[in-house]
Amino acid sequence: AAGAWSMAAVADSSDDIQDAEFFDIPVPESEINMNIPEKYAFKSETRRLLEIVTRSLYTGKEAFIRELISNAADAMERRRYLSLLSDQNVEPLGESPTITLTLDPKGNTFTIEDEGVGMTKDELLDNLGTLASSGSQTLLKKLEQEGGPGWVSADETFIGQFGVGFYSVFMVALSVEVYTRSCQRDSVGYVWSSDGSGEFTITETPGLPMGTKIFLKLDPTEGDYSEPDIVTKIIQKYSNYVGFRVMLNGELVNQVKAIWREPPTTVTEEEHATFYKYLAGDHQGPLYTLHYVTDSPIDINAVLYIAADHDETPGSSRMTPNLSLYCKKVLIRAKCADLLPEWMRFVQGIVDSEELPLTVSRDSTGDQDAWNAVRRTLLRRVLKMLQDSAEKDPERYDHFWTKFGHFLKEGVCTDAPS
């Protein structure tokens, strides 16, 4: 919980620890950390990765918020999973797990905390000090060779709990402090601290709750990321459906339920109508709804809608596609024109696939074969839905044909191979 954190900012001068500056809540004298910070140097490959991340990996700096929230959600999912295993000595997740952000425009700070698995000292060293896996070493070589994002599968976009996503904080922060304690019973808390210049410290710190809290002292030029209104919009853009509540300065800022990840039989027509109106900005419900889940030939969770009408007329500008691509409920690309043929621009909705290979920055996708498989699958499902409607609900299909028939004629002329 947010109030449980003591937020002791540990400063290091030579070999001595200076007086700690405490904020948020008072800390009992018995819990004030008197341990000496242990200094470490980043491994050479980690320093190179930091340079790539901060200079060229991401298309926009706001991506660090998406990465931190995704990491927090992953950590809480993992704690929930571990607590169900009989052989794990893990404290269970609370009843209302929450990702909590605290922004201070005056102090120019950004803080995010979770109730996830947390980290031990060894895990801090492995996850935030070195590229521990051989796959990570391969990733770094690919990044250096290509001078930018390299293609890796979605499961490889993290190194340990944080990895590349965590390092994105150095795009905006002068210094970073990670307060963490493993969810293993009888664990000890630690503070990891760095300015990204080549060294970091780890300090044993009593009194921390289980989970992880990340405190960023923002660069003076990045003050927008301490403004609640701006950060709220970023969260709602990328992380609106992460599966846990996201609180920002005490206010709930996200929708927890991602209906496209629910079993289709459990989502009501009313829920679809409400979601469609939110998604499309339409005052009336959709003419057609397709809630489609499959794991073959590729994992897909999708909700697709066709409106009752449209505003594209001959000679006017074309409709902008309104299909968004997600991975694990996190937005990868909005208004994605490649998920369906251009003539199907009247279809709106969300497509979520965990199997589409992503760039390490998660800003775009890689493997064209996988991409084409998703495209073909969605196209065939939409056409099947329309064919079934023509046979079983001709009145509704007649309405569709009156409004959208010319789009299908365009498809016959331009996209026959599909």
- Do residues 191 and 295 share a domain? no
Buried/exposed code over 177-209 (b: 16+ C-beta within 10 A; e: otherwise): bbbbbbbbeebebbbbbbebeeebbbbbbbbbb
- Last residue within a domain, chosen from 252, 287, 314: 252
- 374 touches 340 (CB < 8 A): no
Residue 129 structure tokens: 């000090």
- Hey, what's the torsion of the CAs at 71, 110, 26, 3, to 10 degrees? -50
pLDDT average, residue stretch 321-335: 89
Report the pLDDT value the prediction gives residue 136, as an integer from 0 to 100.
52
- Do residues 69 and 27 share a domain? yes
Report the pLDDT value the prediction gives residue 141, as an integer from 0 to 100.
64
pLDDT average, residue stretch 91-100: 92
Enclosing H/E stretch for 152:
strand 151-152
Report the pLDDT value the prediction gives residue 418, as an integer from 0 to 100.
53
Whether residue 394 is preceded by a cis peptide bond, meaning omega within 30 degrees of 0, is: no
- Do residues 47 and 82 share a domain? yes
Cα gap 242→64, rounded to integer Å: 15
- Do residues 329 and 352 share a domain? yes
Number of domains in the chain: 2
- Do residues 269 and 197 share a domain? no
Report the DSSP beta bridge partners of residue 193: 177, 201
- Do residues 171 and 220 share a domain? yes
- Last residue within a domain, chosen from 228, 252, 276: 252
Packing angle of the helix pair 134-146, 44-52 (nearest 10 deg)? 50
Q: Look at 119-133, 252-266, 378-392 and tell me which has the smallest mean pLDDT.
A: 119-133
Whole domain around residue 110: which residue ranges?
A: 2-252
pLDDT average, residue stretch 140-165: 46
In the block, which residue shows the tokens 């969605």? 378
pLDDT digits (tens, 9 = 90+) for 282-293: 989 999 999 999
pLDDT digits (tens, 9 = 90+) for 44-75: 777 777 877 777 777 789 999 999 999 999 99
- β-bridge pairing 8-9 and 21-22: antiparallel
- Do residues 106 and 220 share a domain? yes
Measured between its terminal Cα atoms, the distance across the chain in Å is 52
Report the pLDDT value the prediction gives residue 363, as an integer from 0 to 100.
54
pLDDT average, residue stretch 252-256: 89
- 342 touches 379 (CB < 8 A): no
- Do residues 208 and 269 share a domain? no
Buried/exposed code over 32-47 (b: 16+ C-beta within 10 A; e: otherwise): ebeeebeebebeeebe
Cα gap 280→303, rounded to integer Å: 13
Torsion 246-252-254-259 (CA) sign: positive
**Cα 334 from chain centroid?**
14
- β-bridge pairing 358-359 and 330-333: unpaired
326 closest CA partner among 294, 360, 303, 295: 303
- Is the per-residue pLDDT at 20 higher than 50? no
Cα gap 388→384, rounded to integer Å: 6
- Do residues 297 and 232 share a domain? no
- Do residues 265 and 233 share a domain? no
- 43 touches 130 (CB < 8 A): yes
- Do residues 240 and 268 share a domain? no
Label residue 250 left, alpha or beta by phi (over 0 means left) and psi (-120 to 50 means alpha).
left
Cα gap 182→187, rounded to integer Å: 6
- Is the per-residue pLDDT at 392 higher than 50? yes
Cα gap 312→319, rounded to integer Å: 6
| 42: confidence class by pLDDT, cuts 50, 70, 90 | confident
6 closest CA partner among 194, 215, 186: 215
Report the pLDDT value the prediction gives residue 143, as an integer from 0 to 100.
57
CATH assignment of the domain containing 264: 3.30.230.80
- Do residues 245 and 181 share a domain? yes
| 132: confidence class by pLDDT, cuts 50, 70, 90 | very low
Report the pLDDT value the prediction gives residue 18, as an integer from 0 to 100.
39
Question: What single-letter amino acid sits at 214?
Answer: I
Report the pLDDT value the prediction gives residue 134, as an integer from 0 to 100.
40
Enclosing H/E stretch for 69:
helix 63-83
Cα gap 38→287, rounded to integer Å: 63
- Last residue within a domain, chosen from 204, 235, 252: 252
**pLDDT above 90 as % of the chain:** 55
| 341: confidence class by pLDDT, cuts 50, 70, 90 | very high
CATH assignment of the domain containing 165: 3.30.565.10
pLDDT average, residue stretch 170-174: 95
